Amino acid sequence: MIVLKVGGNVINNPATLHEGLDYFSGLLEPAVLVHGGGRRASQVITEMGREPVMVDGRRVTDRATLEIVTMVYAGLLNKDLVAQLQSRGTNAIGLSGADGNAVLAEKRPVGAIDYGFAGDVTAVNASLLDALLRLGLRPVICPITHDRRGQLLNTNADTIANETATALARLEHPVNLQYCFELPGVLTDVNDPGSVIPVLTPETYAEYRSSGKIAGGMVPKLDNAFAALRAGVREVAIGNIAALRAGGGTRIRLA
């Protein structure tokens, strides 16, 4: 199985998005799509007269912001992606975390920063996803989860992708996790597309982090990648569609 996560920069670029959906539709393996869309959400928040608040790449989600991101993620973006996949002959089904208890979460505890209605994943309903895949459907999961007590939560899409891949691996499926974004891979120099790191291990990752060559939003993405491998996911790759299609990008390995 393949779990493909596409980020907001891919979704916001029509040409890149079409390329990504073509790739997903052409996969021969059972596949799950997890999508973000933070840039589109920030645009709508601004258009509605509010100011998006981000801390270390994470959105601070007050009640009004939660309503907006739910509309954008679970409504506009999710259903648009499903419709575009249907036009390619891929029988997709859109899901929020609340649908079929697909993704359960708990509200993040208040620490140094109060992230509001941000959710930390507690469980993924792998049996539901497995059943949908066996029916020939391809789940498309947005980053809105719930806590089983009636509260929706805004949850990081990279984390949902990691937890989804891990949950499916526990059902003894060989699972590959792919993070698709706008760059050809993890770079040592963000201004040089040719500086792709072909393979990252825990040791080399620590070295690149200590030197500052890997920083910012790439850190939680890679932390998720290594966590997925330790939990039984077979392979993790990071790159743009061209790189993933060619078997390139950055491959994450434990050794």
- pLDDT tens, residue by residue, 160-184: 999 999 999 999 999 999 999 999 9
- pLDDT tens, residue by residue, 59-110: 999 999 999 999 999 999 999 999 999 999 999 999 999 999 999 999 999 9
CATH 3.40.1160.10 fits 18-173, yes or no: yes
Return the pLDDT at 56: 72
Q: Where are the domains of the chain?
A: 18-173, 184-241
DSSP the chain: -EEEEE-HHHHHSHHHHHHHHHHHHH-SS-EEEEE--HHHHHHHHHHTT----EETTEE-B-HHHHHHHHIIIIIIIHHHHHHHHHHTT--EEEE-TTGGG-EEEEEPPPSSS--BSBEEEEEE-HHHHHHHHHTT-EEEE-SEEE-SSS-EEE--HHHHHHHHHHHHHHTT---EEEEE-SSSS-BSSTT-TT-B-SEE-HHHHHHHHHHTSS-TTHHHHHHHHHHHHHTT-SEEEEE-HHHHHTT-SEEE---
